[in-house]
Amino acid sequence: FSLGHGAFYAVGAYTAGILMDKLNVPYWATIPAAAIVCFIVGYLFGLPALKLEGHYLALATFALALAVPQILKYKWLEGLTGGVQGIVLMKPEVPFGLPLSEDQWLYYFCLLVMIVLFWGAANLLNSRSGRAMMAIRDQYMAADTMGIDTALYKTVTFGISAAYTGIAGALSACAIAFVAPDSFGIFLSIKFLIGLVVGGIGSLLGSVLGGIFYVLVDNSAQSLTQFIRNDLGLPFDLSAYTVFGVLLIAIIYLMPMGIAGGLYMAYRKLRGARA
């Protein structure tokens, strides 16, 4: 597993931010650009990481997540990145005269991008390359024995994963209209990992459910704190990380395979009961 995808998220966000701020590139054109840049970065990072497995790979990606925000603050990059102050952007305008607000349009635009990416990932998994990737994941030695180029597939898979994360970062830059190094700390990568574990590792549906979980918890933690302190009169100040931790423990205990795995098991039991 990776603890460094917050770095690729930052690279994607800054790619979009720099292109829009410095070159006046349309926001929609920054999405494929961020994907390409992050794929290259992920692929190049994956090459030396080929010999690393398990905890060692996690530590390497953890170091990447720590390093990228600091690199973005360097003085010799301030002309592009804006240094510590970051880059302030303009929110995309609603096209075609649609009766939507800017936030509503961005919501539907992001939803469309998500559907396209989900469709692409589903088709990839059902292809020959996808089956090779799953074979490497499940039985590395057996896949290598069968003649699968494990080194190539591992680096390409890491690159694709980075590209997807970079697209998310670019969409975030468009939606928030601001990018700064401190927005992409290590806790961002940890949140991604939590969402993945909660949703269900190895499941496309799980990745979507994990993303929904991440957004809902992040947005509702403050409201929950206010409810506990003001309405219940309890002296508790819950952060999003506290709520993440409690829910993560509960979900892992009740559904070890994540929400998607739990739903699948419930479906199988229901189907078996009907049969």
Q: Is the pLDDT of residue 235 over 70?
A: no
Q: What pLDDT shows up at residue 212?
A: 87
Other beta carbons within 10 angstroms of residue 175's beta carbon come to 18
pLDDT value of residue 202:
78
- Residue 241, pLDDT > 90, answer no
- Segment of 111-120, 140-149, 222-231, 248-257 carrying the highest mean pLDDT: 111-120
Model confidence at 239, pLDDT cuts 50, 70, 90, reads: low
Position 190 scores a pLDDT of 83
Burial class (CB in 10 A: 0-12, 13-18, 19+), 268: exposed
**Is the separation of the CB atoms in 249 and 197 below 8 Å?**
no
Q: How far is CA 4 from CA 52, 125, 187, 188, 255, in A?
A: 14, 23, 10, 9, 25
Q: Which of 92-101, 175-184, 198-207, 244-253 comes out lowest in average pLDDT?
A: 244-253
